[in-house]
Structures are given as structure tokens and as C-alpha cells.
Chains A and B, each alone.
Chain A
Amino acid sequence: ETGVTQTPRHLVMGMTNKKSLKCEQHLGHNAMYWYKQSAKKPLELMFVYNFKEQTENNSVPSRFSPECPNSSHLFLHLHTLQPEDSALYLCASSQDRGGNEQYFGPGTRLTVT
């Protein structure tokens, strides 16, 4: 256990559904991240939040909408996804943006049908 939890662990959704992924960190960190990991591809950073403020959006399509209500919680709202969005979605946290020692949650395995 790294102190970063994610729910749900598995999610199957249709292209017209709306769902949300949740991440919570118990490490007292101030920066949180969403990553996407697809088969045969390197980890891709999606969003960075630092002290609840979004500081990076790595050209992510608008069908992915992040929300960070406080430094401990991070959400990823999903709507009208495409089958190619099927992947492992990982949340991570670090002390701050500069620390860079990022600790990952267990991930949500998303399948879009």
C-alpha cells in the first residue's frame, strides 16, 4: 500500500455513459496527477494539480474532465468516451510539483464498449 487509493478498480462503460474515477491520498502530499497507461505505450501524463490548482493539461480531450476539491482528493469525470480510451488510469501524488518522487495508486482498469 502506497497511501494512494483509487476506486473503482475496474470499470466497464458504454460510449454514452458518464462515470467518475476517484483518487484519495493519505500521505499529506500537495500535488496529484492522472496518468494513462495503454498497452505497448509509455505512461502518459494527463493532468497535474498542485495545491488544488490545475497546472498541467497534457492536451487531453475534453471528454476527460478532472476535478480536485482539495489536496487529498482527485476525480476524473468521463463522458462519451471512445473504445481507444480503454486503458489503465493511474493516480499519483507527490509532496509538491518539485519533489517529483511520485507514488502511484493501484489504478482503475477502464474498458469502453
Chain B
Amino acid sequence: QKEVEQNSGPLSVPEGAIASLNCTYSDRGSQSFFWYRQYSGKSPELIMFIYSNGDKEDGRFTAQLNKASQYVSLLIRDSQPSDSATYLCAVPFSSNTGKLIFGQGTTLQVKP
């Protein structure tokens, strides 16, 4: 059974701090990884994806991938109250099927 694990939180950080969200996955063969943000009552929004080991930066967001340790992280710099949401990690079940396995999500609260 392929699994994606996230700490459900809530993770609470003060405004302006760095928020660190972590995700571990069970399938060592996974090649791509996705982070979605979901505001309460809304649908998931794709914010980052990463395919290669190392870091990928996009504005205040950095995705970090460590395939050897089977974890992927999302760092949010200069956190804002508008970043308060649930962050979902997703990993393909296998290549070329379109099946994504989602973690349960981590709820982030950014306190002003």
C-alpha cells in the first residue's frame, strides 16, 4: 500500500516567520511530488511541484526533495496570515496512470 504521510497539525507560526511543512512517502520509486494549498471551503490549488533532488524556489515558497530519505518539504518564507490554509502533499501512484495519492494535509495557522 503506497502511502503519503503528513502531520495534520495545526502548525502555528507568527507572521514573518518561516513555516516548514513536511511530507514522507513510502514508494522509493516516486519521481514527482506536488504541493497543493487548500483554503477552508475551497478546492486544492497547485502551488509547487518538484521532480529532482534538491531545492526548487518560487517566490516565498521553496520545495525541498530528498529521495534517499523519502521526504519532501515545503518552506514558506515571510509567512503571512493569508498563507493560513491546509497544505496537501501528493505523489503519483505510478507513472502514466494519473493517480495521485494525497496526504491528509497539514493545517498552517499564521498568527498576526
Contacts and interface: CB of A to CB of B under 8 A. Distances in A.
Contact of A42 (B34, B49, B92, B104): B104
A2 interface: yes
B97 A42 contact: no
Contacts, number: 62
Contacts of B34: 100-102
Interface residues of B, number: 24
Nearest to B88: A43
A55 B98 contact: yes
Contacts of B88: 42-43
Given A33-B98, A48-B97, A104 B43 contact: yes
Q: How large is the interface on A (under 10, 10 to 19, 20 to 34, 35 or more residues)?
A: 20 to 34
A106 interface: yes
A30 to B, nearest CB: 10
B103 A100 contact: no
A42 B100 contact: no
A56 B44 contact: no
Given A42-B103, A100-B34, A90 B43 contact: yes
B102 to A, nearest CB: 4
A85 to B, nearest CB: 18
Contact of B96 (A33, A41, A97): A97
A106 B42 contact: yes
Given A42-B102, A100-B34, A55 B97 contact: yes
Interface in B64-112: 88, 90, 92, 95-105
Interface of B: 4, 32, 34, 36, 42-46, 49, 88, 90, 92, 95-105
Leading 7 A-B pairs by shortest Cβ distance: A97-B98, A43-B102, A104-B43, A98-B96, A48-B98, A42-B102, A107-B43
